[in-house]
Amino acid sequence: MDIAVRPCASPEELRDALNVISHYFGHENNDEDAERFAKWIEVDRVHAARDGDAIVGCAGAYTYRMAVPGGGSVPAGGVTIVGVLPTHRRRGVLTAMMRAQLADCRARGDAVAYLWASEATIYGRFGYGLASRQGSVELVKDRTRFVAPFEPRGSMRLLDLDEAVQLFPPLYEQVFAQRPGMFSRDAAWWETRRLNDDPSRRRGAGPLNRALLELDGKPAGYALYRVAQEWAFGSSSGKVTIQEVVTPTPEATRELWRWLLDFDWTSKFDADLLPLDHPLFLLLAEPRRMQFRVDDGVWVRILDIEAALTARSYNGDESTVLELADAFMPENAGRWRVGSAGVSRTEDAADLRLDITGLGTVYLGGFGFGDLVRGFRAEELKEGAAERADALFATGVEPWCAEIF
Ligand SMILES: CC(C)(COP(=O)(O)OP(=O)(O)OC[C@H]1O[C@@H](n2cnc3c(N)ncnc32)[C@H](O)[C@@H]1OP(=O)(O)O)[C@@H](O)C(=O)NCCC(=O)NCCS
């Protein structure tokens, strides 16, 4: 089989490439779909695998910045629409696309690539490590009491698309600086994707509601939610699905969640993609009633070790020496000294030995070197090295990516 992997060069090629992953969603894209998608991604960041004239594989990368510990961010390829037609699976097409895509990300200056994986077995071989966890909750209406009742002082407004596009992004940007793992959203993303109420995405629920919290007359947080109404024996058995809540301050978090959970005419609330350290654990009188279920979150592939590790924060003046293996991008392998004084190659003896996937796993602060050692993903070469490296890398906040891309 002769497969050629090349970037797409036209909207028509993008449409055909999108149809590979859409095959698995049971959907076929038309020109309009491709046009809409091209608002979010540069056409030449979509790699297509071709068998003759036919496109049989696809892998795209959004141009993002990804938030890292300490309030900074790095250029990141947000990997998406990865698929190989069932007629061509398990013949190395994905591997060829990953090779082309990661080289392209690196050439464009991305320090990392990151993604949501449909299956945990796919991306480790290409150097991606599980970097965050996320939770989903299902809370029944009469179990939402807070430990400490309080007098709300904010006011709420429901916004149309135009106003939300103006007022929500600055709030998101504040949280972006607090939470490693978030990705930057540009105007087109806000308008045509996150805040857009495409009826095909309602899944049986009602329209997208865009609620703004104001404190002292200023925007303080927002929530996106949908209502799916049903009745049983004269009472609501409906559900409110909370899609995204962004609140840069603890006060806004408490006010906005209280307002959401006081919704009349519902029997329960669903929310997912929540950070593991969500304040609801301590706000709610009965946190167990959330039925908080933990899943894997985003996967990070470090591409440029120096750029990626220099961009994040460290505690204190110590450093650690990591001996890294990277089978897929061997140029990264070797010994690296990492700390607030800088990140550079070294000949010094290593403290810890690990694979590039392990570095992706600890990068955002969702896991530590101790976790890697206990999970047989890293080896301590000096006694106590994992504990010292954990003190250096500790962030005090769980990573969070609020949206699947
Ligand atoms: C997942 C998918 C892209 C793999 O493509 P592919 O061209 O078959 O992958 P390759 O032939 O390059 O496989 C490379 C290796 O990964 C393994 N692999 C690939 N997909 C795998 C999966 N889903 N589970 C376990 N192993 C997998 C292969 O067995 C192979 O292993 P080997 O090198 O040890 O032989 C393809 O099956 C697909 O499109 N699936 C449905 C959509 C999907 O899940 N997309 C990913 C969205 S995040």
- Binning the chain into helix, strand and coil, the percentages to the nearest 5 are 30, 30, 35
Asked whether the beta carbons of 357 and 129 are under 8 A apart, the reply is yes
In this predicted model, what pLDDT tens digit does every residue of 322-351 receive, in sequence order? Answer: 999 999 999 999 999 999 999 999 999 999
Pair 306, 109: CB distance under 8 Å:
no
Alpha-carbon distance of 338 to 346, in angstroms, equals 10
Question: In this predicted structure, what is the pLDDT of residue 11?
Answer: 92
Residue of 25, 50, 82, 90 to test ligand 1 pocket, by largest number of atoms within 8 Å of CB: 90
- In this structure, the chain runs to a length of 405
Q: What percent of the chain is predicted at pLDDT more than 90? A: 98
pLDDT band at 200 (very low <50, low <70, confident <90, very high): confident
Task: State the DSSP string of 50-74.
Answer: EETTEEEEEEEEEEEEEE-TTS-EE
Q: pLDDT (tens digit, 9 = 90+) per residue, 367-403?
A: 999 999 999 999 999 999 999 999 999 999 999 999 9
Residue from 87, 88, 94 to probe ligand 1 pocket by mutation (most atoms less than 8 Å from CB): 94
How does pLDDT run across 60-95, given as a tens digit for each residue?
999 999 999 999 999 999 999 999 999 999 999 999
Q: Are 47 and 5 in contact (CB under 8 A)?
A: yes
What pLDDT is stored for residue 144 in this prediction? 98
**Cβ(235) – ligand 1 distance below 6 Å:** no
Does the Cβ of 22 fall within 6 Å of ligand 1? no
Residue 256 near residue 213 (C-beta atoms within 8 A): yes
Q: Whole-angstrom Cα distance, residue 221 to residue 167?
A: 9
- How many separate helices (H) and strands (E) can be counted in the chain? 11, 21
122 CA to centre of ligand 1 in angstroms: 6
Domain with CATH 3.30.1050.10 in the chain: 305-393
In whole angstroms, what is the distance from residue 306 CA to residue 159 CA? 43
Distance CA 358, CA 373 (A): 10
What pLDDT, on a 0 to 100 scale, did the predictor assign at position 132? 98
Mean pLDDT on 209-219: 98
CA of 118 relative to ligand 1 center, distance in Å:
10
Average pLDDT score over residue span 361-368? 98
Superfamily of domain 134-296: Gcn5-related N-acetyltransferase (GNAT) (3.40.630.30)
Residue 57, pLDDT score? 98
DSSP 316-379: SS-EEEEEEE-SSSGGG-EEEEEETTEEEE--SPPSEEEEHHHHHHHHTSSS-HHHHHHTTSEE
Please identify, by atom number, the ligand 1 atom nearest to the C-alpha of residue 119: 23
> How is domain 3-110 classified at the CATH fold level?
Aminopeptidase (3.40.630)
Question: What is the average per-residue pLDDT within 164-186?
Answer: 98
- Residue 6: which H helix or E strand, with range? strand 3-7
Measured in angstroms, how far is the CA atom of residue 64 from the centroid of ligand 1?
25
The CATH architecture annotation of domain 305-393 reads 2-Layer Sandwich (3.30)
Whether 1 has a pLDDT exceeding 80, the answer reads: no
For the chain, give the mean pLDDT: 97
| 118-159 per-position pLDDT tens digit | 999 999 999 999 999 999 999 999 999 999 999 999 999 999
Work out which ligand 1 atom sits closest to the CA atom of 117: 48
Name the pLDDT band for 168 (thresholds 50, 70, 90): very high
- Beta pairing class for 352-355 and 319-325: parallel
Predicted pLDDT at 203: 87
Residue 192 confidence (pLDDT): 96
User: What value does the CA radius of gyration of the chain take, rounded to a whole number of Å?
Assistant: 23
Confidence (pLDDT) at 130: 98
Please give the number of the atom of ligand 1 that sits closest to the Cα of 98.
12
Residue of 190, 183, 202 lying closest to 76 (CA atoms): 183
Residue that is written with structure tokens 């940007």 in the block? 173
Name the band, by pLDDT with cuts 50, 70 and 90, for residue 225. very high
Ligand 1 midpoint to CA 48 (Å): 16
Task: Read off the pLDDT band of 115 (50, 70, 90).
Answer: very high
In ligand 1, which atom is closest to the CA atom of 80?
Answer: 48
Q: What is the pLDDT of residue 166?
A: 98
Q: How far is the CA of 7 from the centre of ligand 1 (A)?
A: 20
Q: Whose CA is nearest to atom 46 of ligand 1?
A: 82
The reported pLDDT for the residue numbered 201 is 84
For CATH 3.40.630.30, list the domain ranges present in the chain: 3-110, 134-296
